[in-house]
């Protein structure tokens, strides 16, 4: 399925000139070839249209852009690394794109307060590296970390593979700098862990996908860098046993369990067959796998991991396991996990649901969702995988072998409907870490608490009365 908006993208020449005065000639893109990378996303699910891409280099320039847009009622779409999966960063109706990639400075690192102030365009991997250089850890980690940006991570409240231990993006930000729709700048770049002075405005903008304002900088939490990281790849029989291993690991690891990823056999098969230089770490296949990691400030992580796996085998939870012998083998384990997005493409169409349910409900959810999807589309191949440690699964479904991809992808809404019904019945969420964007906008309106939707609309009307901030997304 490809969502295309063939609206006309036109702006008066004199208005383009005003924007150019703000960012400069070379950072106001009007040529179609230059604009193309900003109006399409990796999966080609969304194809947008824009007459102008602006690339400001400072908060002051973003504020000036918003003042002009507010004066002339021009819609804006903020964009970071353009790695989003729900269309939130795509200009669907000719809006002006505000690319924040040039806001790429790390303004300050304070090791005493364990904070780092990053501008919105700082690439996540660069933030991780900068923290490492001062013997600190910025733990947010996702497959797109080499290209996604801090502003985008916060705007979508990204999760990733370490949310089990460190929380999601929202919990890693102490303060924000935000440009509002009328060009005012909210300066709330606090380093304080305790600040009880009224409403927590920060949380309005984290996860708002640029619909309330444009995040231009953030004060991020840093953590002590682990002295020992130990990683294991585990084979077991079922999600129920994976859940038992999670409980055992949390009890024994005393807070050092940082990742706990669940993968079905089909996921490992796809990754090994289609990934680049990927192999199965275990000698034979298992119905389910866990990729788990312990990170410790002391040098005792390996002994703890060995004890967990030994007890898991004694209690018939674990069938087989291997602990990474070195950094290269650890990277190989994680490569198998991170290659899953690429490895699904050769198998044809893939319908993707990013959901969460209470952790204890994950095995039941998988069983019910798999049965419902296969009943709906005989031959469909469910591939639920992801962050068992925090209840977030990427519930993906590959097309039946030999079927038509377009026909299969045309059933996306049908698959979503049966999956979401089970998710909501179990007290879960239809979007765990990818956001709402355009892809899930209608479902949000239908499924979210009505009072919550009313409050969201009220905030939107208050902060963006003209509706120029990423219009048509989320609400």
HSE of 125, CA atoms in CB hemisphere, 13 A: 8
Say what the pLDDT of residue 6 is. Answer: 37
Are 15 and 72 in contact by the 8 Å Cβ rule? The answer is yes
Query: Are 203 and 127 in the same domain?
Result: yes
Q: Are residues 330 and 377 in the same domain?
A: no
CATH number of 241's domain: 3.30.70.2190
pLDDT digits (tens, 9 = 90+) for 239-284: 999 999 999 999 999 889 999 999 999 999 999 999 888 999 999 9
Q: 137 forms bridges with which residues in the sheet?
A: 223
Residues 246 and 304 in one domain: yes
In this prediction, residues 389-414 reach a mean pLDDT of 94
Match 């900088």 to its residue by tokens.
Answer: 217
Please give the residue range of the domain that contains residue 318. Answer: 228-337
Return left, alpha or beta for 19; rule: phi > 0 is left, psi -120 to 50 is alpha, else beta.
Answer: alpha
pTM: 0.90
**Cα dihedral 450→451→452→458 (10° resolution):** 110
Length of the chain: 475
- Domain membership flag for residue 112: yes
Q: What is the CATH number of the domain that holds 194?
A: 3.30.465.10
> Alpha-carbon distance 457 to 451, whole Å?
10
The mean pLDDT value for 38-44 works out to: 82
Which H or E element spans position 35?
helix 32-39
CA distance 41 to 346: 19
Domain count along the chain: 3
- Percent of the chain exceeding pLDDT 70 equals 98
Does residue 34 lie within any of the structural domains?
A: no
Quick one: which of 80, 392, 146 has its CA closest to 260?
392
If asked whether residues 282 and 328 sit together in one domain, one would say: yes
Q: Rounded distance, CA 414 to CA 391, Å?
A: 23
Whether residue 461 lies inside any domain: the answer is no
- Does residue 21 sit within a domain? no
**Domain for residue 5, yes or no?**
no
Identify whether 195 is part of a domain. Answer: yes
Residue (of 238, 247, 237) closest to 363 by Cα position: 238
Q: Is the domain of 239 the same as that of 197? A: no
* pLDDT tens digit sequence for 313-344: 999 999 999 999 999 999 999 999 999 988 99
Q: pLDDT (tens digit, 9 = 90+) per residue, 74-110? A: 999 999 999 888 888 999 889 999 999 999 999 999 9
Q: How far is CA 259 from CA 288, 293, 372, in A?
A: 16, 5, 29
pLDDT at 341: 86
Q: Which residues are CB-contacts of 22 (< 8 A; sequence separation ≥ 6)? A: 54, 56, 61, 64, 65, 68
In a domain, 76, yes or no: no
Strands (E), 71-184: 76-79, 96-99, 106-110, 115-119, 136-137, 173-179
What is the mean pLDDT of the segment spanning 457-468?
A: 96
Q: Is the pLDDT of residue 130 over 90?
A: yes
Instruction: Tell me the average pLDDT across 405-416.
Output: 94
Sheet holding 173-179, edge to edge: 106-110, 115-119, 214-221, 173-179, 185-188
Mean pLDDT across the chain: 93
Given a contact cutoff of 8 angstroms between Cβ atoms, the answer to whether 169 and 154 are in contact is yes
**142-201 pLDDT, tens per residue?**
888 999 999 999 999 998 889 999 999 999 999 999 999 999 999 999 998 888 888 989
- 174 and 123 inside one domain: yes
Confidence at residue 2, expressed as pLDDT on a 0 to 100 scale: 38
């Amino acid at each position: 399925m490809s969502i295309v908006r063939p609206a006309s993208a036109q702006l008066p020449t004199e208005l383009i000139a005003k924007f150019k005065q703000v960012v400069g000639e070379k950072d106001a893109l009007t040529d179609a070839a230059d604009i193309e990378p900003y109006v399409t996303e990796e999966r080609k699910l969304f194809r947008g249209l824009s007459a102008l891409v602006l690339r400001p280099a400072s908060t002051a320039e973003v504020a000036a852009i918003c003042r002009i847009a507010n004066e002339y009622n021009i819609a804006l779409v903020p964009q970071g690394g353009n790695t989003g999966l729900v269309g939130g960063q795509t200009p669907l109706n000719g809006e002006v794109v505000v690319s924040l990639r040039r806001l790429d400075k790390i303004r300050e690192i304070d090791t005493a307060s364990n904070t780092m102030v990053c501008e919105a365009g700082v690439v996540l991997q660069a933030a991780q590296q900068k923290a490492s250089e001062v013997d600190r850890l910025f733990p947010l980690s996702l497959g797109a970390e080499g290209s996604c940006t801090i502003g985008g991570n916060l705007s979508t409240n990204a999760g990733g593979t370490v949310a089990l231990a460190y929380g999601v993006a929202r919990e890693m930000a102490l303060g924000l700098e935000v440009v509002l729709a009328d060009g005012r700048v909210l300066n709330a770049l606090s380093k304080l862990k305790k600040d009880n002075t009224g409403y927590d405005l920060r949380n309005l903008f984290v996860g708002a996908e640029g619909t309330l304002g444009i995040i231009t900088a953030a004060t991020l939490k840093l953590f002590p860098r682990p002295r020992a990281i130990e990683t294991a790849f585990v084979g077991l029989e079922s999600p129920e046993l994976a859940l038992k291993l999670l409980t055992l690991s949390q009890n024994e690891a005393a807070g050092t369990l940082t990742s706990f990823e669940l993968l079905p056999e089909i996921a490992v098969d796809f990754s090994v067959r289609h990934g680049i230089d990927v192999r199965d770490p275990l000698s034979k296949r298992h119905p389910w796998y866990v990729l788990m990691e312990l990170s410790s400030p002391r040098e005792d992580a390996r002994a703890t991991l060995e004890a967990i796996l030994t007890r898991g085998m004694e209690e018939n939870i674990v069938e087989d396991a291997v602990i990474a012998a070195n950094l290269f083998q650890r990277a190989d384990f994680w490569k198998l996990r991170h290659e899953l997005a690429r490895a699904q493409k050769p198998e044809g169409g893939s319908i993707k649901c990013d959901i969460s349910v209470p952790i204890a409900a994950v095995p039941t959810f998988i069983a019910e969702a798999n049965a419902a999807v296969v009943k709906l589309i005989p031959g469909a191949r469910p591939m639920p995988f992801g962050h068992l440690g925090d209840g977030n699964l990427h519930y993906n479904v590959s097309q039946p072998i030999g079927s038509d991809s377009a026909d299969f992808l045309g059933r996306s809404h049908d698959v979503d409907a049966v999956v979401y019904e089970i998710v909501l019945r179990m007290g879960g969420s239809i979007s765990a870490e990818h956001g709402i964007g355009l892809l899930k906008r209608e479902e949000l309106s239908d499924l979210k608490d009505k009072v919550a939707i009313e409050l969201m609309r009220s905030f939107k009307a208050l902060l963006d009365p003209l509706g120029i901030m990423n219009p048509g997304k989320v609400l």
